[in-house]
Each structure stands twice: as structure tokens, then as C-alpha cells.
Structure 1
Amino acid sequence: MQAIRNFYKSVIGMSVYLKLPIFFSVLICCMNAKEVRIAVSDLLADTVVDTLMLHAQEKDLQFKIDSIGSLPALDKLNAGELDMALIAIPRRSTQPSSNYQLYPFAYSTSIIAVNVNNPLDEISINRLSGTFGSHEELSLSKWSEIGLSGWGNRSIKPIVGQLEGSISLELFKHVALEDGKIRSTVSLLKNNAALSIISNDVAAIAILPTNPQDRYIKVLSVAKEQDSPAFEPSDDNIHYGDYPFRLSFYIALLKSEVPNLAHVVEALLSDSVANVLSDSHFVPIPYNVRQQLQMDLTLRSKRVVK
């Protein structure tokens, strides 16, 4: 539990890195409209606040939108101080009370990549720990130690590509290193610099915030255990939890308010928001899942008596 809270703290602390205030409030008003209290994770604020503001104006609604960390938002949600929240919920963490309905919204992830000419196609979390971690029982520094025959003593060159606002490194450390430290020999670079190295150096391996669109870079499948199946970071594999590096973001709202606020959730699950998420180093939930949720929400919203 302490490791989860530490990870939460590192995620919340990213608000400074995002150049966002730790707390801000947007009030969108219409006279005599019922106020809807919404909290948005500061990691998501740039991608969804504009959509919420536009939707409030179109529907003549009054939204009070607070951009805060997921942990305080979860506390406010459970205390009944919010009607809706967009929050990150790591696995094994505290869940909202049973009074709330959760809808999957998006994911942050960590991508593992090598040069296209590297024969490696998959890797286990254990070997990633040995490659990037500083205090691992299994310390790997040569490609031959990962099983690449004919590579002799060629050294592994571990690097990390970083984008402003991304938590891919923190997520990697949480999952693979159990919140441990990255070893000092790992190069921390801007994402474009990391992509340039990977596309030109067959000995490099990188942690990246997004799926690279470069024919000289190969994305590795990752296995949770050494002898378990490895999964590529496709939208489906991330959504269903087969790919191990993911932080889930949910739309949470009072179950009693689902019929009244279903249209807000539908707007957040639109194709336009999914495109914004994809352009902002997030992975939206798969298209077919969004379509099914939207159909269900439409049916529930029609039950509201006008």
C-alpha cells in the first residue's frame, strides 16, 4: 500500500512539471442551472477541460471544474463533495465507494523499444528490471545476458525518452522496479533525442512515453513473468490489462446521477476527445468499447423524465 501511495504522490507531483497550477477552478454558469461539481486529474486537464466547457455551454449547464491530483479528488469523491471525477486509479489502490459508477476513459503507458535490426522481439519485466534498475538481484549489462547469440560482449545502452507531462518513467519504475531507482548508467533524454538514438543504434533499448512511428524502431512485447506470454502495447492489450505497463484513468460519478449526466460521459467518450488523448501521450479506450458504452449511456439518459 505504501508503494502505491508513493506512486500516487509522484503522479500528483507532476503538476509542477506540467506547468499547471496544483489547483484551479473553472466555473461555467447558466442562471438557475444545477451546479455539477467535477474534478479532473491535473494530468488530464489540458485534454478534457475545453471539451467540458464547450459541452456546458451547449447544454446550458453549470459546471464547477477543479483540476487537482487524483488522490485528493478520490478523497473528495468518497466524501460526497463531487458529482463526477476524472481520476487515475492504480491497481490495488483505494477504490471509490460503491455509490459511484466507474467508466474507463484512458491510459498512460510505458513503451519498450529497440532498433529494428535488433533480433529481440519480446522481453520480461524481470529482464527490464535487471537492465534499468539500480538495486536488482539480476543485473544485466550485455546483450548476450538477455539471450542474443552472436552478440558477444556488446553492451546494452539503456535510455529513457521523456515528454513534458508524461509519467511513463514513473509508471515503469512503479511496475518493474517496485518504485526503486533507475541505475546511473541510464541516459535520460528528451523524447526526440531518444528516438534518434534508437533508430541509429542497434545496441540501445528505450523506455518511451508513446508508440513511435518510425520504421527503424521496433516496439517490444512485454511479459509479466519470464515464462509467461508477452503482449504488444496495442489498445486492446492495454485496456484489458495484458500489457503490464498502464495507469488507468476513469470517469467516476454517482450512480444516482448517471441518467442525468450520461450526456457528459458520452461527450468525454467521443472520437474527438479520443483523438486529443492520442495526440497527448495517452491511450484512449478501444473504439468498440467506447461505442458500447455510448450506446448504454444513451439508453440510460432516455430514462430521464423531462
Structure 2
Amino acid sequence: MRLTSLLLAAFLSLTVARAEVRLVGSDLLGKDFTTALAAYSKRNDLGIKLALEGSRAGMEQLQSGRADLGLMVFSPGEKPPEAPYVVLPVAYHTLAVVVPATLPLSQITFGQLNTIYGDDAQSGLKRWSDLGVTGEWANRNILPNITGPGGGITYDLFRYTVLAAPSLKPTVGVQTTLSNTLTRIRGDEGGIAVLPLMPATQTRLKTLLVARGAQDVAFGPTPENLHSGDYPVRLPVYLVFRKDAAKQLQTTLRYLLSEEAVPLWEGAQLVPLPIQARNQMIFDLEVL
């Protein structure tokens, strides 16, 4: 009898471990993210079934019981769901303002970016001297570029978060891919570019600190600054699930918050939470 009970317990444990996890949510994460997560799930027998078709549709599926876990993006001002749901940030969409490494400029404000990029700007910042730069860079033209809508959410995040109105100047170079943007700014002396993230290998470029206003402190897009809200441009991706499903989802949640998953998020041009915050969330999940 005891042997039968032990075998039954082992069978039930295996069944739970291999239970299907229906994961829904934002289509902004992209095809590469979906492919990589599906491959990881298959290798590790996690049973994740992915349907990243949009946050609104995903939330409806969660509420109707047709999904177990969501990776959601809520628009600014949109209120995340309350109990019985648990809502935890897991990574951030953001952008980096990038210039040549030799340019003697370390930071920039929303207002200055609006003047450089925004079609509604009343006066232009045409040369680097207009931003207080001296020396050999002073008389060089500021040549603005941005990765376009085909390169992810950066284009719209910049237009609707940083600019006073979402229209760009006709002189802004809208590049089709991140690679094209990097090529353009490396080739154009005096260039400035808005990218999803600064690739680690770009030693000839640097990321400017960004401040919302002229009197505000400027910050860079580090995991710590994004998570604290100090960097002024971020759009969180949230884990959303019912509290009573936390135990069933432990394996998947721990992976998405783990150091092992960092390349998954970075490959989708997102910044994961700092490791201390992720470790704290993993600990907190144990007691839900």
C-alpha cells in the first residue's frame, strides 16, 4: 500500500512539473524572443505554450481562464490589474541617445532632443556649439538619426515620450534597422542617434545621460536607473498571473527572472531588472 502511494505521489509530481503553461501577452517582444523562449521550454520540458498576440488580448485570456501567465505591456496611464492578480516588472523597453565617443558632451535634455528631432520646434539646434560644445566639434552640424518602426518600439517610445508632438523633422534620418542606424552615425561626423540599446561592442560611440528638464539630474539607461525610475524613458514588461497559480508557475517564473534569461531579454532589446531586484522577487515568490 505504501509503495502504491509513493508511486502515485511520484506520478502526480511529474504530471504537475510537466503541466502546460499557457503564456500570453505583448506582441512587442518580437519573433526572436518567442522563438528563443519556445526553444528553451522544449529543451527543459517546461511545457510553455506561447501566444504573444498583444497585451489586451492576453489580459482577456487570463481573465477568462484561457491562459496562466502574461507578459504584459500597459500604456502610460493604464492601470495594471489588481487582486487576485500579481503584477511584477521583469524587464524594460527603453532607448539610448548615442553620439561619437570623442564628442565633448555628456548629457542632454528632453527639450534639447525635441528641438533637434521635433517638427514643431520653434528654433533649431543646428551645430554642436548650440549645445555649448567647444573645440573642433563646435561648428559641426548635428545630424539626427533614429531607428525606425521596423526596429521595434524605440521609434514610437521616443516620439510619444520625449517629443512635445510625435512628428519628426524631415531632416531626421529614419533608419530601417539598428545596424543601419549604427552605420550612419559612425559614418557621419557630428551625428546623434536614438537606438533601442547601445551594443556593447560599439567602442567608438557613447551613450548620453538624459534628463527630463534642464533643472533635473541626468541619468543613463542602466538596469538600476530604469528600475528606480530615474532614467526618464521606460516602458515596463510585467509578469501577470493569479496569486493562486504562483506555485504551478514557479519553474517558469524563476527562469524568466534568472540570470540565465538575461540574454533572452537583451536579444529582444529590453533591459532586465538588476540582479538584486530579480533575486528578491524570486525569494518573494516562494512565499506567495
Return the TM-score normalized by structure 2.
Answer: 0.81
Kindly name which structure, 1 or 2, has the bigger radius of gyration based on alpha carbons: 2
Q: CA deviation at 1:233?
A: 1.2
Which residue is equivalent to 1:72? 57
Cα distance 1:69–1:60, how it changes in 2: closer, same or farther (>3 A)? closer
| C-alpha distance in structure 2 between counterparts of 1:159 and 1:188, whole Å | 6
| C-alpha distance in structure 2 between counterparts of 1:57 and 1:300, whole Å | 28
Larger strand proportion, structure 1 or 2? 1
Which residue is equivalent to 2:82? 97
Q: Supply the AA of the counterpart residue of 2:280.
A: Q
Moved segments of 4+, more than 4 Å? 33-36, 52-61, 78-81, 150-153, 162-165
Which residue is equivalent to 1:46? 32
Q: CA deviation at 1:115?
A: 0.8
| C-alpha distance in structure 2 between counterparts of 1:70 and 1:240, whole Å | 24
| C-alpha distance in structure 2 between counterparts of 1:233 and 1:38, whole Å | 28
Q: Supply the AA of the counterpart residue of 1:43.
A: L
Question: 181, 185, 193: which is aligned to 2:171?
Answer: 185
1:1-306 alignment to 2 at 5 Å? 36-44=21-29, 46-48=32-34, 50-51=36-37, 55=41, 63-78=48-63, 81-149=66-134, 153-161=139-147, 165-178=151-164, 180-189=166-175, 190-212=177-199, 213-297=201-285, 299-300=286-287
The number of residues matched between the two structures is 269
Q: CA deviation at 1:72?
A: 2.4
| C-alpha distance in structure 1 between counterparts of 2:190 and 2:255, whole Å | 45
Cα distance 1:116–1:64, how it changes in 2: closer, same or farther (>3 A)? closer
Mean alpha-carbon deviation: is it higher for 265-274 or for 74-83? Answer: 74-83
Do 2:95 and 2:196's aligned partners in 1 also have CA atoms closer than 8 Å?
A: yes
SS of match in other structure, 1:237? helix
SS of match in other structure, 1:230? coil
| C-alpha distance in structure 2 between counterparts of 1:172 and 1:253, whole Å | 30
| C-alpha distance in structure 2 between counterparts of 1:161 and 1:34, whole Å | 40
Cα distance 1:154–1:58, how it changes in 2: closer, same or farther (>3 A)? closer
Return the TM-score normalized by structure 1.
Answer: 0.77
SS of match in other structure, 2:28? coil
Q: CA deviation at 1:119?
A: 0.9
Unaligned runs of 5+ in 2: 1-14
Q: CA deviation at 1:51?
A: 3.6
| C-alpha distance in structure 1 between counterparts of 2:278 and 2:108, whole Å | 31
SS of match in other structure, 2:246? helix
SS of match in other structure, 2:247? helix
SS of match in other structure, 1:136? coil
Q: CA deviation at 1:94?
A: 3.0
Give identity over the alignment, percent: 30
Cα distance 1:138–1:238, how it changes in 2: closer, same or farther (>3 A)? farther
Cα distance 1:196–1:217, how it changes in 2: closer, same or farther (>3 A)? same
Unaligned runs of 5+ in 1: 1-29, 302-306
CA deviation vs aligned residue, 1:65-92 (integer Å, no higher than 9, x gap):
3221123223444555533100112432
